[in-house]
Every structure is written in C-alpha cells, then in structure tokens.
Amino acid sequence: MKNDAHKTQAALAQALFEPKTVALIGASGDPKKNTSRPQRFLRKHGYTGRIVPVNPGRDEIFGEKAYPNLMAVPEAVEHAFIMVPREAVAAAIEQCVAKKVLTATIYSDGFAETGEEGRRMQEEVMAIARAGGVRVLGPNCIGILSIRPSFALSVNAVLEMDHIKPGPFAIVSQSGSMTGGLLSRGLGRGAGFSKLISVGNEADIGVGELTDMLVDDPHTGTILLFLETLRDADRLAYAARRAYAADKPVVVYKLGRSDIGQDLAASHTGALAGADEVADAYFRAHGMLRVEMLETLFELPALIAGQKPARRHRVAVMTTTGGGAAAVVDRLGTFGVDVVPPSDRVVDNLAQKKITIPRTRLTDLTLAGAKKEIYSAVLAELLASDHADLVLAVVGSSAALHPQIAIEPIAEADRSGKPLAAFLAPHAETSLGLLTNAGVAGFRTPESCADAIRAWRDWTPPVEVPAADAKMLAAAGMLLKTMPGKQINEFDACKVFASLGIAHAETAVIAKPEQAAGVGFPVVAKILSPDILHKTDAGGVVLNIADGSALQTAAKEILARVKAKHPEAKINGILVQRMEKGLAEVILGFRRDPQVGPVVVLGAGGVLAEIYKDIALRIAPVGIETARAMVDEVRGLALIRGYRGLPRGDCAALAQAVVDRVNDAEINPLIVKAEGQGVVAVDGLIVFRDN
C-alpha cells in the first residue's frame, strides 16, 4: 500500500478502536434489552471517551444526555454503533453521512445472512455508505472490543465479566456468537487479549483489512482468526504477509472441512463457502498457520513465538509416562511428523552425568526418572542438541502433584534454541497456568498438542510467486483472442498449451476420410464437433489405428455413426492424434476458485483423483520446487516418484493466462513418459471467464 492508504487505514483504526466520541444509535435505557448493553459495557470496562446515546424517545440514558438524532449531537462523532431495526438502518447511515462519521458498526441483522431480500437491503445501505464515505463494519456484527485503550462496543453478554486480561492476542471472528466463547476459552487458559472483533457480514470492512490494522497495533502480537469462509482473500493474503514480516503469527481456525460444514457456513453467514483444500493451500501460501482444533488456537502461539518456520521438522520426545507420550506421538505419526531418537552425543553427554536414556524414539525416563535434576538435565540436552528441531516434553502425575519435578524445569528451560511443547497427562490447571505465565506452550490434550506440532511442521514462509515468461504469455494471449466462444475445443486448447511451452501429442484435423493426416502411426481418431460432448458414446472415437488405410476406414465409420446418432451436429472434421504411451497419466488443471482466485491442481489420472481425492493443490502460479512437492503428494504417482516433475513449459505463464482470461484450463490426460522424455498433453479443455 502507498503511504496515503496507510494513513487512511490508521485513521480508520483510530475511529474503530479508540474514537473520542461514539454514538449509540438505537440505545435503550431498559437494562433487560440487548441494546442497552453497549453503553453499560463501555463504561464498565473503562472507556474514557464520550458516549452519545441516540434515541428520539429519551432525553437521557444511564446518566448520559441522549439525542433524538445524530445531527443534534453538538460535537464530532467518529464512530456510530447502529442498533435500530433493519428497516431503519439506511436512514441511520444517512445520518452518519450527514454527520461525517468515519465508521459505523451495524449490529442490526436481517441482511445478506437471511437471503435475497436481506441482501438487497444490505446493498442499499452500502450504496449510501459508499457514496457518503462512511466505512462500515457489519451488518449483523455483535461488536468490537479493544482492551488497551479500553473500548467495549459490543452487545456480547461475555462482557458482563469484570476484568479482561490484557495481552497479545487479537481475535477476528466471522461468527459473532462465538466471540464470547473464544474470549472465555482464552482467558480460561491464562491468555490475555488486545482486541476482539466480530465482522458480521463483511459488507465493507473485512477480515483482511482488520488483520492489516492489527499488524500495526502495538498491543497485538498474535492474530487469531475464526473463519467460516473467505470474502477478501487478496486483502487477507497481503495482511498475512505483512504480519509474517512483522513476526506476528496469524493462526486460523476455519470451518468447512466437510461438505456439511461448508453448507452451514453458507447458510448462517450468507457466504459462499469454497472447497477446503483450496483454503488449506491459501493459508500456507501466505504464511498463516491453520489449526484443526479449537483449543489449539490458544495453545499454539506460544510454541512459535519469536520463531520463523523451521527448515527441518525433527521432533524429540521426552517423558516419564510412556503411555501419555505415546498418545501424542501416535497422532503425530498419523500426520507423518518425524519423531527422532536422541543422538549419540545426547546419550553420551547424559551418561557423563550418570543419566542413562534409551536410544529409542521415545526418551522415556519412567517413574525412576521423575526427579527434577534428571528431568532438567535431559530437557536441557535435547533443547541444546542439533539432532532435533522441536522438543516435546510430556509430564505425568507430577504435573498435578509436584510441579517442581518437571513443570519447573520446563518453565525455566532455555528455549532459545528451538520450540518447546509440553503436554500434561493429568488434569493440572495450576501447572498449565505456570507454563502460560512462563511463555511455554502447554497443552491440555494430546490431540491439540499433536495438532499444534503438525501446524508448526506445515508452517512455511509466504511463497514467492514465480514470474511468468512475458513472451510466452503474450503469445498465448494473442492466440486466445483469436478463439471465439465460451469454450474451445481440444485441438485449440492444445495449441494454447503449446504456446506456453507444453508439448502435446502430434495432432492434425482432417476434413474428409481420404485426406492424409501426416501424423505418425499408430493414431487415434476422434470426431471434432462442438455439439458432441460424449464422443465415445456417440461412436466418435477409434483407438489404435495402425496405418493410413485403417485410418480412412475408421474415419468413415466415425462419420457414419455420428451422423446417424446426431444428425443435427455441426462436424468440424476428424481429429487425428498420435497414440502416446507413458508411465502414468495425470490430470493438470488450472482453476479460478471463487474465493481465493487461481489454483493449480495435479491429480492421479483416470478415476483415481476422483474416488480417492488423490490430488495436490496450490495457489497458482507455482515454481518448480512446489511442482516437485506436488508430484510427491499425489499417492497414485508413487510408481513414478522421482520422475523429474511437471511439464517443462512455463507453468507460471499458464497460470497467468488463466488469471487474465480463462476460468478453467485442464490437461487431461497428461502422459508422463519415461525419464528424460518429458510429458505430453493428449487432451485439454479451456473455459473462458464470464466478463
């Protein structure tokens, strides 16, 4: 962003989180009503600015002078909180425009989250706000909370609590009703907070922009996102990259793992939820960490505080309870996390201190090792050793009864070398609190502990976007311009791929059966017609044609069969293509995801990708390293593992072409030939964007 934009954003943040004057439009003086809460909460939690209740029926509410409308307020108002019925919201925004209010938070609901009529009303409200220069949070937003300086502008009942511990955690949540649960859970684990924002329907200010503001918030050290969908993926990507650079981890809990989860997210926020694999790829590409479990949101940050993503991910595990440690390690195993035995040096160094540890992957000190001097010596050795990149310490019954044995050594350990995770086998709230206060990542369940270590393993720096070859891109662009219609046939699609450097099977189109194709035999012949989708069903395909005379026969038969079955179909000729054999078939697709934009998908060929969801997916474009990693991920390609990669053409250019004009592009099948012989596109499809 340019400097001006940054200044504008800073001003918006100021108005959102620390306005000098806030107006409460629709404030109630009846303590039983939800609309009375913001005024009470603001004062209760120590807001020192001016509160202006706006309510035409009251002169005064809870001791503050009330005004019939915003225009009657004598001083400037930076922030308005709107709690009037849906039908009155547009008028309230009009008042904000007239009063030059910087930002309005709309609590009122019944908008896009409820269906088409609500969506239309939301658009009306937003048109007024946009035209008048009022930035909007919501509608359907339960409120926002800033701890330092205190600004509790919310209807959330959770603010009935007396004290909210200040600290580095900021939460941005697409679920308003869940913000209270998140705050309560975090506080229950000893976490402290800077800000808590419910975004409602995100008609204007969204998760991305708020995340960007939090990067600049001096009180925020970790940004936690509770997401149901992605509405401003580009903005969030930009903010996440800034957060990464500023050493403020962005940790995401996102619904939508299952189809039903996606449905729910859609129905209760009015958002279109996308495929979850795309979201995974998106978070990773931009340096965010995604957790699978709710508790991990609060337990993970201490594990990565002050860290950057590690280059290797070897985990050393020490414990006095083999069973407790195995509960974590077993799950790590299902995630493919590498658990390593101690190095010779670790074993030798400890032996010099008369401490014997096994050479197995689990450094189990057993009950006999449940002594402070042993526990701390082993822990120090593992933390200092370069054979492992993270240490997991699992504590047995002593965590509940004798914190001096293992909890103290863990809290006091020198963690400068690498991350340290501690799982406590018993119910040990006090010890968890000790660890939190010491800045150590303590875990209450073996599952969230494994989830956090898995998230650490998956954490990568924001990926660098490879530049497309400008010449190839231009050539493909020219070619695409010459191709009319909504979709282009396989012959033309292969030409486009060729212009981007991807070899395709030798191909020609013949107009009549007797025409020579000039393609090396054996060949396959296929009917070329925009009107016939299922060529094989139409009798329009003959495989394995050995010579010219056989081709002529085959072409005649194809035309006869197709004409009989589809007399109305427009026939553009017969496609003749050299039969290609290879080691494997893959599908290579580029697709514009409605939420995050272009993605690249590599899948096992045939029905495998579909039945077994055997695909690798990344945000497009990808560089060669990423492409190799994708080949490794596809299980069905195990047989050709080690084969050196994807098409040698310019994948970046292909992806860029997709961005510019194309909605979907798919090469299927792409034949992977023997080593050194490359890959060959056999069939393809390009679908243009609606413009």
- Distance of closest approach, residue 564 Cβ to a second copy, in angstroms: 27
- Distance of closest approach, residue 253 Cβ to a second copy, in angstroms: 8
Choose one: 300-308, 395-403, 471-479, 543-551; the region binding a second copy (CB under 8 A): 395-403
List the one residue from 180, 200, 409, 649 that touches a second copy (CB under 8 A). 180
Residue nearer to a second copy on the CB measure, 8 or 360: 360
Q: Find out whether 670 and 631 touch, Cβ atoms under 8 Å.
A: no
- Residue type at 613? K
Instruction: Characterize the bridge pairing of strands 166-173 and 679-681.
Output: unpaired
- Write the secondary structure of 107-135 as one string of H (helix), E (strand) and C (coil): CCCCCHHHCHHHHHHHHHHHHHHHHHCCE
259 touches a second copy by CB under 8 A: yes
Q: Find out whether 384 and 308 touch, Cβ atoms under 8 Å.
A: no
Residues 642-671 that bind a second copy (CB under 8 A): none
Site string for a second copy, 596-625 (x = CB under 8 A): -----------xx--xx-x-----------
- Distance of closest approach, residue 395 Cβ to a second copy, in angstroms: 9
List the one residue from 246, 367, 470, 543 that touches a second copy (CB under 8 A). 367
- Distance of closest approach, residue 229 Cβ to a second copy, in angstroms: 11
397 touches a second copy by CB under 8 A: yes
Q: Rounded CA gap, 200 and 205, in Å? A: 10
- Distance of closest approach, residue 448 Cβ to a second copy, in angstroms: 8
Residues 417-436 that bind a second copy (CB under 8 A): 425-429
122 touches a second copy by CB under 8 A: no
List the one residue from 327, 377, 562, 574 that touches a second copy (CB under 8 A). 327
Measured between alpha carbons, how far apart are the two ends of the chain, in Å? Answer: 27
DSSP class per residue in 179-218? HHHHHHHHHHTT--EEEEEE-TT-SSS-HHHHHHHHHT-T
Across the chain, which distance is largest between two alpha carbons, in Å? Answer: 99
- Distance of closest approach, residue 672 Cβ to a second copy, in angstroms: 16
The upper half-sphere exposure of residue 165, i.e. CA atoms within 13 Å in the direction of its Cβ, equals 14
321 touches a second copy by CB under 8 A: yes
Q: What token pair was written down for 495?
A: 């030409």
- Distance of closest approach, residue 494 Cβ to a second copy, in angstroms: 29
- Distance of closest approach, residue 219 Cβ to a second copy, in angstroms: 22
Q: Rounded CA gap, 143 and 51, in Å? A: 15
Chain Cα centroid distance, residue 565: 48
Give the residues across from 592 on adjacent strands: 598
List the one residue from 155, 453, 493, 562 that touches a second copy (CB under 8 A). 155
Q: Rounded CA gap, 355 and 374, in Å? A: 7
165 touches a second copy by CB under 8 A: no
Q: What token pair was written down for 670?
A: 């792409």
* 3-class state of residue 24 by DSSP: strand
Q: Which residue's structure tokens are 């050194």?
A: 676
Q: What token pair was written down for 35?
A: 């609309």
Site string for a second copy, 64-103 (x = CB under 8 A): ----------------------------------------
List the one residue from 329, 558, 586, 622 that touches a second copy (CB under 8 A). 329
List the one residue from 29, 309, 322, 645 that touches a second copy (CB under 8 A). 322
Residue nearer to a second copy on the CB measure, 396 or 684: 396
Contact partners, residue 504, CB within 8 Å, separation at least 6: 494, 497, 498, 680, 681, 682, 684
- Distance of closest approach, residue 132 Cβ to a second copy, in angstroms: 29
Residue nearer to a second copy on the CB measure, 213 or 362: 362
List the one residue from 8, 48, 356, 360 that touches a second copy (CB under 8 A). 360
**CA dihedral (223, 424, 182, 285) positive or negative:** positive
- Distance of closest approach, residue 267 Cβ to a second copy, in angstroms: 5
Q: What token pair was written down for 149?
A: 């300086």
Residues 527-556 that bind a second copy (CB under 8 A): none
List the one residue from 9, 14, 21, 34 that touches a second copy (CB under 8 A). 34
Total chain residues near a second copy (CB under 8 A): 87
List the one residue from 72, 245, 638, 674 that touches a second copy (CB under 8 A). 638
Pick from 372, 367, 374, 436: which is nearest to 396 by CA?
367
174 touches a second copy by CB under 8 A: yes
Contact partners, residue 543, CB within 8 Å, separation at least 6: 524, 579
Q: Report in angstroms the alpha-carbon separations of 300 from 27, 167, 243, 456, 585.
A: 39, 15, 17, 8, 40
Edge-first strand order for the sheet with 507-510 is: 507-510, 574-578, 523-527, 541-545
Site string for a second copy, 266-305 (x = CB under 8 A): -xxx----------------------xxxx----------
- Distance of closest approach, residue 320 Cβ to a second copy, in angstroms: 6
Residue nearer to a second copy on the CB measure, 158 or 551: 158
Residues 461-500 that bind a second copy (CB under 8 A): none
Residue nearer to a second copy on the CB measure, 3 or 334: 334
Residues 441-460 that bind a second copy (CB under 8 A): 445-447
Q: What token pair was written down for 355?
A: 């401490």
264 touches a second copy by CB under 8 A: yes
Choose one: 65-73, 314-322, 431-439, 648-656; the region binding a second copy (CB under 8 A): 314-322
Q: Rounded CA gap, 675 and 643, in Å? A: 6
- Residue type at 175? S
